[in-house]
Structure 1
Amino acid sequence: MQHDKHKGSILPREAWGLFIILLISIISRGLGTLFPLIGSLLFAILIGAILQNTTKLPKAFDPGIQFTLKVLLKVAIVFLGVGLSLYDILHIGQRALWVIFFSVTIGISVTYVVGKWLRIDKRLSLLIGIGTSICGATAISAVKGIVGAKEDETAYALSTIVFFNLIAFVTYPIIGHLLDMSDLSFGIWAGTAVHDTSSAVAVGYAYGDEAGEVATTVKLARTLFLIPVMFILPFILRKKSTGGSHYKKAFPWFIFLFLAMSLLHTFGLIPMNMESYLKSSSKFMIIMVMTAVGLQVKGKDIIRLGIKPLLTGLIASITCAVISLLLIL
């Protein structure tokens, strides 16, 4: 019956949310040009978060916010493929795969042990560990059915990930500059350690264009680690597997489109002006995605979490960041 409300409307239900996101993104891009040290992406998150926590946003914005986070992010990543040749992808992948493997394995294990020590429910610590180590909200949504997580546990884990994504966005570029990291090294670090795909891509681009492209490629490779983890989980939890539907849903099919774009670029089949248009469009879409991330930051939810899940998330975040950094440097 929910659709009846929208039957008389000419606009799709995502329109209002997309309109506010577009408006904030245009303002953020303008402010980012005026204050390049802060940058458009950080302005987008801040304006979104301030709006969410100081005003009562209409429910009508929700479909547009979700569309931006789920669909627009994938379109932006596919468009980013035009800037990378297959040779670049293989070179980056070769350097990053073992870093991802150790970061994911140790990250989940440490979080699980810390969760036990703090006497947090096994399901919640697994959600936080998998979300932190693999791909944030996507990973949590994919495994919540397998671990049998309740809605409030899922919401707790998601809030923890959002909170530490924000911290990563501010701290990673500062650490990168202090350590005088190259764009390639920083991109691998952001791709292996920052939780959500949207934030990993944005953190990379906050450092530099090359770092952004590297972070995107590494993050997509890291997302694929979700599949083996989903197969192993039922054995850890000693419960029956819930069938193939979870795996199909979790597999990031858009990676094939990203590779197809890269293939076209490798053989010079995309005209130069089209390439630059797609690249600039994808960068603006990432500003829109970060606006949507900001609009999801609810201070009340983070405070309500209590100290234990936040402490677990903090240890998980630091573990992933330090391990991947030590393996890269």
Structure 2
Amino acid sequence: MHIKKYVPGIFFTLLLAYISMFFSGLIPYNLIGAGVFALLIGMLLNPVISKYTFFDAGLGFTSKKILRLAIVLMGLGLSFKQVMEVGKFSLFVMIFTLATAFGGGYLLGKLFHMNWKLSSLISAGTGICGGSAIAAIAPVIEAEESDIAYGISATFIFDVLMVILFPIAGRYFHMSDLGYGLWTGTAVNDTSSVVAAGYAFSDMAGKLSVIVKLTRTLSIIPIVLIFSYINERLLRKEARLAMGNEEVASTRANEGVNIRKIFPWFILMFLGMVIIKSLGFVPESVSHSLSNMSKLFMVMSLGAIGLRTNFKKLAKSGFTPMIHGFIISALVVVVSFLVQMMFGQI
């Protein structure tokens, strides 16, 4: 492993993180969190930074590995009771949000005459976890690269708006940390955006929103298996129509399913840290220090994601997928809010 190639990108995100925390401190009531500043400043700097390839390795490492490390370390600041309490109710809310994302996505896809694969990718990104879900499902339905780009673009742009609007809405509705964490964790798409929106409200809301998001991420596995089955059935149907042979069977779709590869193992590590903390093996002073380190790592990772985001490429994705993604995302936001209001969590 050539460590030197990672240093420039990691160091730049560290510098961006401290700059973002400085700007965040200037905003009254912590209305705009450091993660939001890191994400937005990173996107503004992308046209310049992208010209220097020596940043690439470090930025990629920070946006993926360090974000996961931050989430794992976060477990040392939580008790097992909190995880079980929040995760239990989030599963109930997810039934409604996932049904909204995939049911609404299917209907809108038909209405807009969209490719079912593109429509499904947008629904998965909205209902589960943004780019991670899209990347996991794309191989098993044999999606085109353009569909993947459209899907990620459609969900990401909405997430950028939600990172800014969610904290404002949460304060307007006088939401509790628990209610806001549940709302953000079930309605915002990508993990990085959940982190940014959650911590922009409060530290506890940020922690709770990530717990909910991690619970929601687990739905990748059954969803991938379902779409693998759907794609296989469609391939067999196409083959029968093309060849007129009832015995033709296609198994290519199954080849894309690799549970070991798509399973988010860092979730188990996160839960392991929670158990260690709950059993009292970690002193409070150490837990506090690692919790602060976790926050820094999160801001760094959000900055790296911003630095790797090219607005021109997003603009080329087209208009219809954006409308599709925006409507589905908005429906999920509303449904999540209404379900929690009905059960007294707001």
1:137 aligns with 2:117: no
Match status 1:189 vs 2:183: yes
The answer to whether 1:314 aligns with 2:302 is no
2:296 matched residue in structure 1: 284
Aligned to 2:66: 72
2:140 to 131, 146, 149: 146
Q: Pick from 8, 17, 21: which aligns with 1:16? A: 8
1:57 equivalenced with 2:69 (yes/no)? no
Q: Is the 8 A contact 2:228 2:257 kept in 1?
A: no
Q: 3-state SS of the aligned residue for 2:143?
A: coil
Equivalent residue for 2:35, pick from 33, 38, 41 = 41
TM-score normalised over the length of structure 1:
0.93
Which ranges of structure 1 fall in alignment gaps of 5 or more residues? 1-5
Amino acid at match of 1:108: F
> How far has the Cα of 1:55 moved from its partner?
6.0
Aligned to 1:180: 174
Which 10-residue stretch deviates more, 245-254 or 117-126? 245-254
**Matched-pair identity in %:** 37
> Is the deviation greater in 183-192 or in 153-162?
153-162
Alpha-carbon deviation of 1:62?
Answer: 2.0
* TM-score where L is the length of structure 2: 0.88
Q: Does 1:234 align with 2:228?
A: yes
Distance 2:31 2:185 in 1: 22
User: What is residue 271 of structure 2 aligned with on the other side?
Assistant: 259
**Which 10-residue stretch deviates more, 279-288 or 230-239?**
230-239
1:81 Cα offset (Å): 0.5
- Give, in whole Å, the separation in 2 of the partners of 1:321 and 1:222: 14
Contact 2:194 2:213 in 1 (8 A): yes
Listed as ranges, the gaps of 5+ residues in structure 2 are 236-250, 342-346
Alpha-carbon distance in structure 1 between the residues aligned to 2:151 and 2:199: 26
Residue 103 (1) aligns with residue 114 (2): no
Contact 2:101 2:332 in 1 (8 A): yes
Match of 1:113 among 99, 107, 127: 107
Structure 1 partner of 2:214: 220
Q: What secondary structure is seen at the aligned counterpart in 2 of 1:13?
A: helix
- How far off its partner does 1:57 sit? 3.2
> Structure 1 CA distance, aligned partners of 2:312 and 2:34?
26
